[in-house]
Structure formats: C-alpha cells, structure tokens
Amino acid sequence: MANNNNDSNNRSEYFEDRAGTDEARYHVVPHDEEGWAVKEEGKDDPVYTAGSKSDAVEEAKQRAKDSGTMAYIHSEHGQIEEQDNYTDE
C-alpha cells in the first residue's frame, strides 16, 4: 500500500516540476462545466474548455505543436486513447 502512495506522490511531483516549462504536456479530458478541457500538466485549472471533444483536441494539438511537446487525448472515462508527439518538429 505504501508503494502506491509513494508512486502517486512521485508522479504528482514529476508533473508539478514540468508545469510551466517547455516540457509540460497537454491533456484533453472530460470537463464537468464545459464538456471537454485542455489541461497543462501540473496545473489544476484548464487552459482551454470546449463544448466538443474535437475542438479541445484541435486546441491541445496546436498548443503541443507550438510548444514542441506532446498532446494526450483521453476518453470520457479517463483512459488515454491517443498521443501525439511534437518534440522532434
């Protein structure tokens, strides 16, 4: 049980360390208020919200491309469905 807690803490610290840096990645996730949100790793508040998943995906991919990082597209249940890597462009 302690390992799961340590893994969770390490993962949180990892995301927090990347927040606001060139390494921060963008995630498209379900959002209670707007439908879909784009979140930057390590930040609680979305950087973009949309009524449709396709709009959120387009925004996340553009932000990732502009930043030279990655975009992760999640299902409505939270699983990663797709990832796009723009680190080599």
Structural tokens at position 26? 């963008």
Tokens of 39: 């979140």
Give the domain ranges of the chain.
Answer: 2-85
Q: Which residue has the tokens 């939270």?
A: 78
C-beta atoms surrounding 26 within 10 Å: 27
Q: What value does the mean pLDDT take over residues 33-51?
A: 93
Range of weakest confidence among 14-28, 39-53, 67-81: 14-28
pTM: 0.75
CA 81 – CA 50 distance, rounded (Å): 18
The conformation of residue 79, written as its DSSP 8-state character, comes to -
Mean pLDDT across the chain = 82
Query: What is the C-alpha to C-alpha distance for residues 66 and 86, in angstroms, rounded to an integer?
Result: 8
Tell me what percent of the residues of the chain surpass a pLDDT of 70: 73
Q: Is the pLDDT of residue 27 over 60?
A: yes
Mean pLDDT of 58-72: 96
